[in-house]
Structure 1
Amino acid sequence: MTESLVLYSVEDRIATIALNRPEKRNALNPELIKLLTNKMLEASDDENVKVIILKANGSTFSAGADLAYLQQLQQNSLEENLADSENLKNLFLTIYKLPKVVIAQVEGHAIAGGCGLATVCDLVFSVPEANFGYTEVKLGFVPAIVSCFLMRKTSETIAKQVLLTGDLFTAAKALEYGLINFVINKEDISQNTRDFALNLCNNASSNSLMVTKQLIGQTTNPHLERSLDMAVQINAKVRESEDFKRGIASFINKEKINW
């Protein structure tokens, strides 16, 4: 494992977890997903941490899956795709159920799995220039796992619009849709996010934050784990479809596909 793919630091009871793969636009692969899950669990167990900020180095928050990863998916067996989908589910569920507040600081585009990563955080700060989008349908794929979380953050009408079209949308639209909380200029976002985290650290009980987060999750998402298990199955099975294979091939070869 390459620890430098995910950086971890703590100051003033705030853990900063940073994706550190800027040369690949912080694209997700199994190694990064596992490291990020482990760092979230480390922050959860760290007695010196009360709030977590998730950010990314470079100009992109995360561009979703990388090319080498997508190529490998084409060769995977159903069992391998199930295991791979389970790993992404575990990352998202870890963040969602973590007993500490997780704040996403989005300073660049958050696309597909990267958009999903921001979606599962408790609060999201974004720069105006960032675009968001669940682009999976354009590749013959489905945003199965993230849909389980997205449906609790926005309306069914908006969820269908963004998931079925796969279109990118601005930070301003993401704010309007209820997917993020604040749009802050690039020069101010780090300080604003940190000030917000410090306010939670200094003015809210750790136990109250934990229980309130659990309360919201359990009352709005009582069947979440059952839904996620179904999503993992769908995720893996869709990867065996001809549409998925065509979509990934066109993406890798940078060719436009006519559906």
Structure 2
Amino acid sequence: MDNLVLYGVEDRIATITINRPDKRNALNPDLIKDLTDAFIQAEEDDLVKVVVLKANGGTFSAGADLEYLQQLQNNTFEENVTDSNNLKRLFTTIYYLPKIVIAQVEGHAIAGGCGLATICDIVFATPESNFGYTEVKIGFVPAIVSCFLMQKVNETVAKEILLTGKTCTAEQALLYKLINFVTNSSEINLKVKEFALSLCKESSGNSLMITKQLISQTTNPLLEKMLETAVQINARVRESADFKRGIASFLNKEKINW
């Protein structure tokens, strides 16, 4: 069985690669755990100054795995709280990581996959990439990821993105300030490496760490409380009739009229 996450280091840059291309790099508990472990490994690696998150295949991440969604319908409330806390741990590990994290988004980043990109410090994307929080379309709520989205965009944009569930192009995401750069697919590897190397060579590692901490701790000092609330909301919504109906329709590829 192939590793769900690949880890490598070169020139003080750790590359963490999501490796489920046959499942469009969809998230499930095993992948969430392996990604968390990889970021902790990068944090503890003294040879690493910058981290790049990317994915194999044509999709950055399509969000939650279909089998995983099916399983959620049978979870108890306590199991859903535990599961939500695991996702929260992955996101906070990235957000508070004392090293700069760059997302290299090639292909679509949807729902939880969009959340992964949103949490990273710097985001590069190709013109073909689409971004979106589509949870409301299947009776779900983008609870945990919304806490981080609000750190990047204003309330007007956040409401548009979260309430409509529509996807947007990379150019639109750039206008929303959701991402930093749009780069052609033929150049994105080089551009990301150049950017990462410039941080490695031109900036103090200690200064980068403290500056990132300064931003994360002063932008929203209530983030941890927001996340605790989001975990409870996430678990509660999974028990709702709309969630069960939406997931069933999604799994059966049936159009649903709300």
Normalization by structure 2: what TM-score? 0.99
Match of 1:224 in 2: 223
Alignment of 1:49-64 (within 5 A): 49-64=48-63
Q: Does 1:42 align with 2:41?
A: yes
Match of 1:32 in 2: 31
Give the RMSD, CA atoms, in angstroms.
Answer: 0.7
Query: What is the CA deviation profile of residues 186-221 of structure 1, one whole-angstrom value per residue up to 9, with x for unaligned ones?
Result: 000000000000000000000000000000001102
Match of 1:238 in 2: 237
Q: Does 1:178 align with 2:184?
A: no
CA distance, structure 2, for counterparts of residue 69 and residue 148 of structure 1: 23
Query: What is the CA deviation profile of residues 164-186 of structure 1, one whole-angstrom value per residue up to 9, with x for unaligned ones?
Result: 00001000000000000000000
Query: Offset at 1:117?
Result: 0.4
Instruction: Give me the identity figure in percent.
Output: 71
Runs of 5+ unmatched residues, structure 2: none
Query: What is the CA deviation profile of residues 61-108 of structure 1, one whole-angstrom value per residue up to 9, with x for unaligned ones?
Result: 000001100000000000000000000000000000000000000011
CA distance, structure 2, for counterparts of residue 99 and residue 152 of structure 1: 18
CA distance, structure 1, for counterparts of residue 97 and residue 9 of structure 2: 17
Alignment coverage as a number of residue pairs = 258
Match of 2:14 in 1: 15
Match of 2:142 in 1: 143
Instruction: List structure 1 segments (4+ residues) > 6 angstroms apart after TM superposition.
Output: none
Runs of 5+ unmatched residues, structure 1: none
CA distance, structure 2, for counterparts of residue 88 and residue 134 of structure 1: 16
SS in 1 for 2:140: coil
CA distance, structure 2, for counterparts of residue 66 and residue 90 of structure 1: 18
Match of 1:82 in 2: 81
SS in 1 for 2:151: coil
Query: Offset at 1:152?
Result: 1.2
SS in 2 for 1:217: helix
SS in 1 for 2:186: helix
CA distance, structure 1, for counterparts of residue 187 and residue 167 of structure 2: 24
Q: CA 1:3–1:100 in structure 2 vs 1: closer, same or farther (change >3 Å)?
A: farther
